[in-house]
Amino acid sequence: MAPLAVGLALLILLAAGGSAGYREANRLQASLAGDLQLAAAEMDAGKAALKEANSKHDLKALNNARQHFKNAKLRFDLARKSVDGNVALVAADWVPGVGQLYVAPRHHAVDAIATMGLALVDAGEQAIEIDANLMAPSGAPSQESGPQRVLTVLRDASNRIGRIEADLKTAREADQSIDVTVLPAGQQATFSHARDSILKGLQGIAQFRSLVPALLELLGNNGPRTYLVEQADPADLRGGGGFIGSFSLVLADRGVMKIQTTADVATIEWPPYVMPGMKTPIKPPNPLQEFADHPWVFGDSNFDPNFPGTARDGELTFFNQTGKRVDGVISLDPWAIALLLTATGPLRLPEYSATVDGATFPEDVFQREQAHPNDPEFARTRKQFLAAVAKNLIERLTALPADQWTKVIDAMNTAVTQKHLQVYFNDATAQSGMANFGWAGQLIGASSQQEFLMEVESNFGATKANHFMQRRYDLKLVAEGATLKHNLTVTLKNSTPTGYVNGRYYRVYVRVYVPANATGLSAQNLFRDRLPTQEQQKGLALMDGWWQVNVDPRLGYGTSTFIFSWNTPLSGDTGHSIYWQKQSGTLSDAITVSYTAGGHTTTAQTDLTQDRLLALTPNQIEVRAGTGGGAQLPTLGF
């Protein structure tokens, strides 16, 4: 910003003309050059220190940012006063011809740039105070718990956010008042950068305002809330992530978090499933009836890959079996817990003589819960280990000081992006915030700008084969006129060894979701449904079927291949894109894509560590990251 303002000042002062004007120009040029260069440098240093403070949770860096912004404000103010207080320059604004047409617009541009700088500094100072509250030492006199402190910070931030927004709007108004044509050509990029900073700040405010209702709801700011925390087992994969082997009930009331219950799902459901506490037997979706002849129960409630739907099903079945109503559902699997352990540090479980940490937890919990199936004591207690870890982890999270919560949010964002964590609130405003930040686990769906693709598997054989499953996708795309032909080959390799719960086979229900306007849908190498599915997903069509992948004892593995075909309209010259959504609970399955157009074939390789966007042009397949978790606590540096 400094070179731009200095250049403008020189043009203005030279336009005043005369020997006195030139002498005054030389004096003010030197003054403005120093003031504006120092102001810009101080503001950049303040932004860098604020970024460092946020990433390292460093109060010293935050204090450095505070001092840099203070220095920048003094320099910007001095520069503006140097111009506006110059009588000769102000008089020149009104000189007919060169004054009004040349001097005045450039004088105004310098004023507007200084106003932009001052407004951005004011916004930065307010952002510093928000972060200072969040980073207050855990031994602060209030002695609030971590969640209580976060709630206090959010309330304070909500008050300050209006002032930050007003400052940014002032900066934007100053920006929009400048006649860009008066700027030297070499300085327009600098001006554009300042404009981008304003836009980024306003976008950050909009995102923050979207997140606040969800965090306030989660922490019980609106009154006592009860949340159902599902501990899913992706080794027994289901549409919504995995069989729900254990659960917790967490109570939140104005920042005070307490665990009411943590239990094995067997405590509320067990064959023959019509238990004394069950209110009314609920008929399950047809595919579930193909593998089990009993009412729909909570453990099997996450049939729907669209998490808002599966969460509501979980609430329904949980209430039917326990009589307890909840205000939302949080689903997490062992990989989500592992990521959270990186934020909390290892957990000691004396009752198991064990310490769990993020690096080894997924494999540790799997071996503890799924091996030794013939041991009666193991069969009785095998799901209690994950429940115990979840209970201790929740207690650790709720006891963390507020300055550690940014690490927790970062870990949760990663878990959400990789489809190991999903959140649903009954409150519509809070749920909208979760969707905006990618935490809701909803199906992205098709749109006029992009196609949609998702393959979903459910292990209805009650084995733990998914822990050993290797999955590969080969997608062949061919452009023929205005049509895009798709051929998706899914190859499964089941390498389940002996010695695990319920054997080695993989009885799988497969679904592939494509746009509703797709034609020529075909699924090969699958048995058809005995009971046709009633499932409907808005804007999507569905191909489905059944298969069983058995392990050949001689080889130690078994393989199967399924082929799906369909056609869609092909976008025009602007390119074509396909959004490929990952199933919850899976890891990093390999993808190979080929695209043939105009006799030319190009290929790309990627994986489903997270959602992917495939952008197609006749000569290229560009693989981009799909939507991920984007929540953050109030860190509004720009």
Pull the structure tokens for residue 128: 């510093």
Higher pLDDT, 363 or 632: 363
Mean pLDDT of 572-588: 90
Choose the final residue of a domain: 165, 187, 218.
218
Q: Is the pLDDT of residue 612 over 70?
A: yes
Name the amino acid, one letter, at 89. Answer: L
Residue 282 and residue 383 share a domain: yes
Residue 214 CA neighbour count, 13 Å, CB half = 24
Kindly state whether residue 631 falls inside one of the protein's structural domains. Answer: no
Residue 321 and residue 209 share a domain: no
Mean pLDDT of 134-159: 69
Residue 522 and residue 420 share a domain: no
CA 498 to chain centre: 38
Kindly state whether residue 387 falls inside one of the protein's structural domains. Answer: yes
Pull the structure tokens for residue 209: 């305002």
Residue 374 and residue 285 share a domain: yes
Determine the pLDDT at residue 212: 82
Kindly state whether residue 443 falls inside one of the protein's structural domains. Answer: no
0.85 exceeded by pTM? no
Q: Which of 93-102, 148-157, 409-418 has the highest mean pLDDT?
A: 409-418
Higher pLDDT, 347 or 204: 347
Determine the pLDDT at residue 526: 96
Q: pLDDT band at 557, cuts 50/70/90?
A: very high
Residue 351 and residue 208 share a domain: no
Residue 48 CA neighbour count, 13 Å, CB half = 7
Q: 195: which residues sit within 8 A by CB, 6+ positions away?
A: 175
Q: Is the pLDDT of residue 261 over 70?
A: yes
Residue 8 and residue 138 share a domain: yes
Residue 177 and residue 240 share a domain: no
Kindly state whether residue 444 falls inside one of the protein's structural domains. Answer: no
Residue 416 and residue 465 share a domain: no
Determine the pLDDT at residue 426: 97
Choose the final residue of a domain: 168, 195, 218.
218
490-502: pLDDT as tens digits: 999 999 999 888 8
Distances in Å between the Cα of 315 and the Cα atoms of 46, 319, 328, 390, 603 are: 48, 6, 8, 19, 44
- The share of the chain scoring above pLDDT 90, in percent, equals 47
Show the 3-state SS of 497-510: CCCECCCCCEEEEE
- The share of the chain scoring above pLDDT 70, in percent, equals 83
Give the length of the chain. 638
Q: Say how far apart CA 456 and CA 547 lie, in whole Å.
A: 13
Which residue range(s) make up the domain with 312?
225-436
Please state the domain count of the chain. 3
Q: Determine how β-strand 600-607 pairs with β-strand 590-597.
A: antiparallel
Q: Is 254 exposed, middle or buried (0-12, 13-18, 19+ CB in 10 A)?
A: middle
Determine the pLDDT at residue 80: 79
Residue 248 and residue 174 share a domain: no
Mean pLDDT of 403-432: 91
Residue 285 and residue 193 share a domain: no
Residue 516 and residue 430 share a domain: no
* Number of other CB atoms surrounding residue 29 within 10 Å: 17
Q: pLDDT band at 637, cuts 50/70/90?
A: very low
Q: Say how far apart CA 532 and CA 542 lie, in whole Å.
A: 12
3-class secondary structure, 549? strand
Kindly state whether residue 321 falls inside one of the protein's structural domains. Answer: yes
Residue 610 and residue 462 share a domain: yes
167-224: pLDDT as tens digits: 888 988 988 887 777 666 655 665 676 677 777 777 777 777 777 888 889 889 889 9
Higher pLDDT, 617 or 632: 617
Distances in Å between the Cα of 317 and the Cα atoms of 361, 402, 501, 512 are: 29, 35, 25, 26
Determine the pLDDT at residue 372: 63
When mean pLDDT is compared across 100-109, 324-333, 581-590, the lowest value belongs to 100-109
CATH number at residue 87: 1.20.58
Choose the final residue of a domain: 218, 247, 272.
218
CATH number at residue 262: 3.40.630
33-64: pLDDT as tens digits: 556 667 777 888 888 888 788 777 778 888 99
Q: Is the pLDDT of residue 82 over 70?
A: yes
Rounded to 10 deg, the angle between the 104-134 and 18-56 helix axes is 20
Q: Say how far apart CA 624 and CA 629 lie, in whole Å.
A: 15
Beta bridge partners of 256: 253
Q: Is the pLDDT of residue 29 over 50?
A: no
